[in-house]
Homo-oligomer: A and B are copies of this chain.
Amino acid sequence: MTAVADTPRPGGGEQSSLRGEPFVFPVRVYYEDTDAAGVVYYANYLKFMERARTEWLAAIGMPLAELEAAHGIVFVVTHADITFRGPARLGDRLDVSVEPLERGRARLLVRQEARRGADVLVAARVTLACLDRAAWKPARIPAPLVEKMT
């Protein structure tokens, strides 16, 4: 996987590196998550990853509801690069991580993994854009959230 952080980007002057302990959120695999091949359906890992991002924002004090109500913004995924290394199965308990890698004015790049014990089953890099909820246009990431992420 190439070092995305090395790529220069427009508006990159405000970028900052964000390194720390990844946030981890546990997920249980239910029938709803599996398919007839007996494994977790591939699209559902994106659900697990969004759950983990949601809980991460809540954990740092910025629940989605507040971002929307107080700041009028939503985060949407603009890019995802996902490697599926091994299958999860019914009843598995997965640990889904969120690790912010890079932050722009209106953009956030996070690394996410779904692990079962020590095995990394799915690894992803997910780019999020901060949008004005009403205009559906890029908006600066709210200052209080920037502070909490640093």
Contact = CB atoms under 8 A, between A and B. Distances in A.
Contacts of A51: 28, 30, 32
A15 interface: no
B78 A84 contact: yes
A77 interface: yes
Given A35-B31, A35-B34, A36-B34, A76 B43 contact: no
Interface string A126-150: 0000000100100000000000000
Contacts of A50: 30-32, 42-43
Contacts of A39: 36, 76
> Taking chain A's interface residues, is the majority helix, strand, or loop, or is none over half, making it mixed?
mixed
Contact of A47 (B30, B80, B82): B30
Interface in A59-96: 63-65, 74, 76-85, 87, 89-91
Contacts of A89: 36
B91 A64 contact: yes
Query: Which of A42, A51, A65, A83 has the largest count of B CB atoms less than 10 A from its CB?
Result: A42
A36 B90 contact: yes
21 contacts: A28-B55, A30-B54, A31-B35, A31-B36, A31-B41, A31-B64, A32-B41, A32-B51, A36-B39, A39-B76, A42-B46, A42-B76, A42-B77, A43-B43, A64-B90, A76-B87, A78-B84, A80-B80, A80-B81, A80-B84, A81-B81
